[in-house]
Amino acid sequence: MTTVRRHMLNALGKLFTEDNLVVIRNEGGLASQIGFWALGHELSGLGYDVKFDNSWFRSNGMDLNGRFPRNLDFPKAFPSLNLVEASKFERTVLKKLNNFTEGDPTTVMAPAYLGGFYDRWKLVVKHQKLLTESFSPDDSYFSKEDLELLEQTKREPNTCGVHVRRGDLSNDHQHYGKALGPDYFTRAIAEVGARHEGTTYYFFSDEPDWVKENIGRALGTETSYVVVDNNGSDRGFVDLYLMSQCQSFVSSQGAFGKYARLLGDPSRLIVEPSSHALFSQDDKNVIVLDV
């Protein structure tokens, strides 16, 4: 960037943006959106005026493979928590003027644009109580099948929500590790069954047919399970709510199953893979399986 251009951008920044404004680029699935909200909430507590750049959902809005949609679902899942959107001018100027993409976001100097994937898990855990209290999708989003499933899980004494992340994690991934096959899920289900006899397993996945053909066949008829297939990936926030109501959880490499535990009851049993384990292994209700 030339000296003249930087001086012009600095002048624009002083004229048209607030001194304490931080714009956060928001993107990805609902779990990522929750993490970005937590980052924003933390920065708001530090005195910054936080706004979000949600333009990714209009220009892209797909998973890494371009197969499944990623909508801006956070406002639907958490209607009382705001994602104040930055203007096009604010996000454009700050992105060029002061753009942070890595490191500790709490050390940024506002006005700034945060465009990276920071470590937000600890912030989500820190603000878990507020998120849980605010996790309340409107009744209009729930289909008849969703409501019947919700009542069914309430009647059964032992239910386990199993998230099977396929799509862009159906192959080995540099950040998430080795793709999980049916063996991981059957081992995880055996771990849950050893602690909670008579458990019914509810599978949530972006590829329910794969679950039926692979995991379902491996389980056989002795295990009680339901493959939830009435909500597509564009209604993942409904599945997250349904899964959060279960008594135990099996997580894939992604964060969806982990967030189900956080937003339901973070003291309940969860099984997660060693390739992307997030919960403390000192927790007696956390089982990490080698993959």
pLDDT digits (tens, 9 = 90+) for 87-130: 999 999 898 888 888 888 888 888 899 998 788 999 999 999 99
Residues 89 and 166 in one domain: no
| Chain Cα centroid distance, residue 27 | 11
Residues 160 and 281 in one domain: yes
Residues 98 and 235 in one domain: no
Residues 120 and 176 in one domain: no
224 three-state secondary structure: strand
We report the CATH number of the domain holding residue 285 as 3.40.50.11350
Residues 169 and 95 in one domain: no
The answer to whether 198 touches 158, Cβ cutoff 8 Å, is yes
> Considering only CA atoms, which of 264, 33, 240, 30 is closest in space to residue 142?
240
Q: State the pLDDT at residue 67.
A: 64
Last residue of a domain, one of 129, 153, 183: 129
The answer to whether 74 touches 38, Cβ cutoff 8 Å, is no
Taking the C-alpha atoms of 107, 111, 29 and 266 in order, what is their torsion angle to the nearest 10 degrees? 40
Residue 170 pLDDT class (50, 70, 90 cuts): low
0.85 cut: is pTM over it? yes
Given a cut of 80, is residue 2 above it in pLDDT? no
| Chain Cα centroid distance, residue 21 | 25
Q: In whole angstroms, what is the distance from residue 48 CA to residue 40 CA?
A: 9
Q: Is the dihedral of CA 258, 260, 262, 268 positive or negative?
A: negative
Q: In whole angstroms, what is the distance from residue 207 CA to residue 91 CA?
A: 36
* Domains held by the chain: number: 2
Mean pLDDT of all residues in 46-68:
81
Given a cut of 80, is residue 83 above it in pLDDT? yes
Residue 1 pLDDT class (50, 70, 90 cuts): low
Q: Residue 180 is encoded by which pair of tokens?
A: 């999980």
Q: Other C-beta atoms within 10 Å of 30: how many?
A: 23
